[in-house]
Amino acid sequence: MARVASTDRNFHGRNYFNAHDRTGDVYLISGFGVYPNLSAARTLSWTPKRGRPPRSLGFVGWMDRAP
């Protein structure tokens, strides 16, 4: 996504993945977003476990603008 047709600075592409075990005790959500007009990328992982508080982890990074 080095070049996009939109000039909207908030244009983005996102992907996410959900997974769980057969009992439903453990659940995982992970995602990845790219904001090419801001040269930014973002990731997120969220894991709730039955009977325990959920854990989350996120990162934001800057992408190089290659010509």
Taking the CA atoms of residue 22, residue 52, residue 19 and residue 61 in that order, the dihedral angle to the nearest 10 degrees is -170
Q: Based on the structure, what is the number of domains in the chain?
A: 1
Q: Is residue 7 part of a domain?
A: no
Taking the C-alpha atoms of residue 38 and residue 6, their distance in angstroms, rounded to an integer, is 12
Task: State which amino acid sits at residue 54.
Answer: P
Q: Is residue 3 part of a domain?
A: no
Cβ neighbours of 32 (radius 10 Å): 15
Q: Is residue 45 part of a domain?
A: yes
Taking the C-alpha atoms of residue 16 and residue 23, their distance in angstroms, rounded to an integer, is 22
Give the pLDDT confidence score for residue 31 in this predicted structure: 93
37: CATH:
2.20.25
Q: Is residue 23 part of a domain?
A: yes
Q: Is residue 67 part of a domain?
A: no
Give, for all 67 residues of the chain, the pLDDT tens digit: 556 778 888 888 889 999 988 887 888 889 999 888 888 888 988 887 777 787 888 888 887 765 5
Please give the residue range of the domain that contains residue 41: 13-62
